[in-house]
Amino acid sequence: MTPERPRGADAIPARDELIVGAAVEPSVTPPSDRGQLYAALDLGTNSCRMLIAQPRGSQFQVVDSFSKTVQLGVGLEASGRLSRASMGRTIQALRICQKKIEKHQVRRMRLVATEACRRARNARDFIRQIRRETGLALEIIAPEEEARLAVISCAPLVSRRTEQLLVVDIGGGSTELVWIDLSAVPRDDRPKAIMRLHSGFTPQGIGPEARVVDWISVPLGVATLKDQFGDVDDDAARFALMSWYFEENLASFSPYNAENPREGFQIIGTSGTITTVAASFLGLRRYDRTKVDGLHMTSDQIDTVIRDHLTLGPEGRRTDPRIGRERHSLIMSGAAILQALMRIWPTDRLSVADRGLREGLLYAQMSADGVLEDGPYK
């Protein structure tokens, strides 16, 4: 597979009842008494997820959410088409989303589909079917837009000391990496400069610019990478092959051959894989977003968790409560991607983000409407 680039998990019930950037109780205000509500839906290769939220200061409060494993991409690698069964599962999930949108009287929303629909020959027909059967109008977004939104979602986690930033979003069907130079931006403005990245990664608005050095969308995520090596029986050998194969697909990413990053380099990782690794490191038998989002993990800590998962084997991972029943079959392909990234850019720390495309969609809509206040960032 050739990564797309410019020219020049659902075991964890995360993300739901929160103000992004601070933990709070879910809102119980009746819809008629709330301010403007926004919806963001992410239909990926493995999962269908939605958030409904309202602006609050410089952040937002989630008032309802939905997450379901639909396995939309099952069989896509072999056939090039979405299967009837996977489309049926997805439509059922989207009907639930439609009811929630209607219940909360949401008028501002953005509903997107990603890698599976980008690749499937029958995706356009499926999008039309979704519109007919649920009334929801989904758009298939380009890899660059997916990467941009993932970056925006992580803005509150950008340190003021960061000069070079790598944001990694490990999805079901693809992995997006964005390298951003913040060295020309004053320290206090660095998180806000990330929020100003607009369509095509072009900065918009007044203020110092965050410069996107390079970005890449590798068509390998936890589901597609697992499928590619499904015929390898040995667990450890399969893991090693997946990790090295993913690294091979990064060769055209210009920072791949960069010298070891100097002080001021930060990696932020967002995905079910990374939050699962973090939860395992913390020994959480019940997921707690407030302990995971913003956590810093060292390379040694990440390697220890991955080795433990390998030692467990497929059956041990299936029954480990820290991994969860829906994530166990995908955790090692995601871990293979994560290990490759930490091997390429040997840094001692990874910032864990329990946020992603949905949060980016919400931030982007609210920012465009001017309903977010300038506020404190981490």
The reported pLDDT for the residue numbered 364 is 87
Q: Give pLDDT tens digits for 126-137.
A: 999 999 999 999
In this predicted structure, the answer to whether residue 116 has a pLDDT above a threshold of 60 is: yes
Same fold, 18-141 and 145-353: yes
The SS3 assignment for 83 reads coil
Q: Please, which pLDDT band fits residue 311 given cuts at 50, 70 and 90?
A: very high
According to DSSP, residue 188 is labeled G
The packing angle between helices 299-319 and 272-282, to 10°, is: 90
Residue 230 in contact with residue 224, Cβ under 8 Å?
Answer: no
Residue 122 in tokens: 């029958």
Let me know: does 221 contact 174? Beta carbons within 8 Å.
yes
Indicate whether 323 pLDDT > 70: yes
Beta bridge partners of 110: 40
Q: Which two tokens stand for residue 376?
A: 């404190």
pLDDT in tens, 266-303: 999 998 899 999 999 999 988 888 899 999 999 999 99
**Per-residue model confidence (pLDDT) at position 70:** 94
Q: For residues 228 and 77, is the Cβ–Cβ distance under 8 A?
A: yes
What pTM was estimated for this model as a whole?
Answer: 0.81
Q: Which pLDDT value is given to residue 204? A: 63
- The confidence score (pLDDT) of residue 286 equals 87
Q: At what angle do helices 123-134 and 84-103 cross, to 10 degrees?
A: 40
Q: Tally Cβ neighbours within 10 Å of residue 6.
A: 13
What mean pLDDT is predicted for residues 340-356?
Answer: 87
Burial 23-59 (b: 16+ CB within 10 A, else e): eeeebeeeeeeeeebbbbbbbbbbbbbbbbbbbbebb
Report domain extents, the chain: 18-141, 145-353
- The better pLDDT of the pair 307, 285 is held by 307
Sign of CA dihedral 226, 232, 234, 238: negative
Average pLDDT, the chain: 85
Collect all residues with Cβ–Cβ distance below 8 Å to 226 and sequence separation of at least 6. Answer: 242, 329, 330, 332, 333
Q: Does residue 343 or residue 22 have the better pLDDT?
A: 343
105 pLDDT exceeds 90? yes
Q: What is the mean pLDDT of residues 22-37?
A: 49
Report whether 276 contacts 9 (CB < 8 A).
yes
Q: What is the pLDDT of residue 356?
A: 87
In which band, very low, low, confident or very high, does the pLDDT at 197 lie, cut at 50, 70 and 90?
confident
- Contact (Cβ atoms closer than 8 angstroms) between residue 269 and residue 353: yes
pLDDT score of 6? 41
- Based on the number of CB atoms within 10 Å of its own CB, is 358 exposed (0-12), middle (13-18) or buried (19 or more)? buried
CATH superfamily of 18-141: ATPase, nucleotide binding domain (3.30.420.40)
Under CATH, to which class is 145-353 assigned? alpha beta
What mean pLDDT is predicted for residues 211-217? 90
**pLDDT on residue 374:** 64
Per-residue tokens: 250: 């990064």
| 223 and 73 Cβ atoms separated by less than 8 Å | yes
Does 198 score more than 60 pLDDT?
A: yes
- What does the alpha-carbon distance between residue 359 and residue 192 come to, in Å, rounded to a whole number? 15
For residue 1, the model assigns a pLDDT of: 52
Token pair belonging to 154:
């992580």
Which backbone phi and psi does 84 adopt, to 5 degrees? -60, -40
The pLDDT value given to residue 103: 97
